[in-house]
């Protein structure tokens, strides 16, 4: 009886994420912009009495926290792996994205609460000042969005920060429109309506971030990979008889991993078949970090006893 062979192969790629340096620089710049704009909008909201401005300021405050968290995560993710942490701190980016999503939900709820409370109040608004602050907010958020867009958004963490800024940009447009209406018509209810619209926008932005980060934290199969098609592709490799204990998951954005137990025919070269499977996984599915255990199929070595 032939002795089965076990081969474990690992691609110990560094996965340094070349976009990390550009992303970090962009996040530092955007953090400074959002922090400055938060102060301006808080002052503007208190001065003008505009809930829309205060809502946008609240969103900007959450963004300041979120982008600071994203920056810390990018810095942590660049630290090397250790025997205790074999993947280093790469998951820090995903944790940051998850927390960012939660902060968006909380801010959205606060804005709705304040908007409903103001439906009967109808405070007097200083439309001119409101318009001036809205223009400044629009310009700053547009600049921040452009900076993050140019930095590359392969990281879910940076993508989460970018979505924060896009929501801010849309919020600034809403505040600007509300200010124009207040200045030209004196209709102050538009301030509450725009605030509710901003809250819905924030909630929609939060959903995408929470969905993607939760999927990674729960180690789901990456959405871009069809697990059934991947299994078929492995089994269709000449010499492979079956595959089981297959796991495909994402360590962090752009870093997918796979492990599997592959069985090959009795006369097959396990090392050669392993290399064939690796080539298929890399070329067809973009998975290059693999751990494959390759054995000869035990079914082909069993003795059949007859009386």
CATH number of the domain within which 154 lies: 1.20.1510.10
Average pLDDT, the chain: 82
Domain match, 170 and 272 both? no
| Dist. CA 23–CA 161, nearest whole Å | 10
Q: Does 238 have pLDDT greater than 70?
A: yes
Give strand pairing partners of 292: 9, 260
Q: Quick one: which H or E segment has residue 293?
A: strand 289-296
Domain match, 228 and 143 both? no
Residue range(s) defining the domain that contains residue 211: 20-217
Domain match, 86 and 213 both? yes
* Residue 253 and residue 94 in contact, taking contact as beta carbons nearer than 8 Å: yes
Radius of gyration over alpha carbons of the chain, in Å?
27
At 278 the three-state DSSP class reads helix
Domain match, 31 and 76 both? yes
Domain match, 81 and 230 both? no
Q: Select from 275, 271, 263, 245 the least CA-distant residue to 300.
A: 263
For 161, phi then psi, to 5°, come to -65, -40
pLDDT at 157: 66
Domain match, 97 and 212 both? yes
| Domain count within the chain | 2
Domain match, 165 and 75 both? yes
- Per-residue b/e over 129-167, b at no fewer than 16 CB within 10 Å? bbbebbeebbebbeebbebbeebebbbbbbbbbbbbbbb
Q: Return left, alpha or beta for 239; rule: phi > 0 is left, psi -120 to 50 is alpha, else beta.
A: left
CA distances for 3 relative to 83, 243, 268, 295, angstroms: 33, 19, 12, 9
In a domain, 3, yes or no: no
Which residue among 217, 232, 256 closes a domain?
217
Which residue among 192, 217, 242 closes a domain?
217
More confident residue, 16 or 255: 255
pLDDT at 299: 63
Domain match, 210 and 233 both? no
Q: What is the mean pLDDT of residues 220-239?
A: 94
Q: Does 106 have pLDDT greater than 80?
A: yes
| Dist. CA 276–CA 123, nearest whole Å | 71
User: Which tokens go with 63?
Assistant: 């963004």
pLDDT band at 175 (very low <50, low <70, confident <90, very high): confident
Domain match, 160 and 273 both? no
* Residue 179 and residue 61 in contact, taking contact as beta carbons nearer than 8 Å: no
Domain match, 210 and 253 both? no
Name the H helices within the chain. 20-48, 51-77, 92-117, 127-151, 156-185, 189-217, 227-235, 270-285
| Dist. CA 143–CA 88, nearest whole Å | 33
Which residue among 217, 232, 248 closes a domain?
217
Q: Does 75 have pLDDT greater than 60?
A: yes
Q: Quick one: which H or E segment has residue 1?
A: none
| Dist. CA 28–CA 46, nearest whole Å | 28
In a domain, 153, yes or no: yes
Q: Does 31 have pLDDT greater than 80?
A: yes
End-to-end CA distance of the chain: 21
């Amino acid at each position: 009886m032939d002795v089965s062979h076990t081969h474990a192969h690992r691609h110990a790629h560094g996965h340094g994420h070349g976009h990390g340096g550009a992303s970090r620089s962009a996040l530092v710049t955007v953090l400074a912009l959002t922090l400055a704009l938060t102060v301006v909008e808080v002052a503007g909201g208190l001065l003008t009495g505009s809930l829309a401005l205060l809502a946008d300021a609240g969103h900007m405050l959450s963004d300041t926290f979120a982008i600071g968290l994203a920056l810390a995560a990018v810095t942590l993710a660049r630290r090397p792996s250790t025997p205790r942490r074999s993947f280093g701190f790469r998951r820090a980016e995903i944790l940051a994205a998850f927390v960012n999503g939660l902060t968006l939900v909380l801010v959205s709820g606060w804005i709705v609460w304040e908007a409903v409370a103001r439906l009967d109040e109808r405070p007097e608004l200083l439309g001119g000042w409101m318009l001036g602050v809205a223009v400044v907010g629009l310009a700053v958020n547009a600049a921040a969005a452009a900076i993050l867009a140019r930095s590359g958004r392969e990281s879910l963490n940076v993508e989460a920060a970018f979505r924060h800024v896009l929501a801010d940009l849309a919020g600034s447009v809403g505040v600007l429109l509300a200010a124009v209406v207040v200045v030209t018509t004196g209709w102050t209810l538009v301030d509450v309506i725009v605030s509710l619209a901003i809250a819905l926008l924030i909630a929609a932005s939060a959903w995408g971030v929470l969905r993607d980060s939760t999927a990674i934290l729960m180690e789901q199969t990456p959405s871009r990979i069809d697990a059934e098609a991947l299994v078929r592709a492995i089994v269709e490799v000449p010499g492979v008889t079956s595959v089981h204990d297959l796991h495909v998951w994402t360590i962090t954005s752009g870093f997918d991993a796979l492990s599997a137990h592959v069985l090959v025919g009795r006369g097959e070269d396990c090392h050669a078949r392993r290399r064939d499977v690796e080539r298929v996984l890399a070329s067809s599915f973009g998975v290059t970090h693999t751990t494959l255990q390759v054995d000869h199929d035990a079914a082909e070595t069993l003795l059949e006893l007859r009386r």
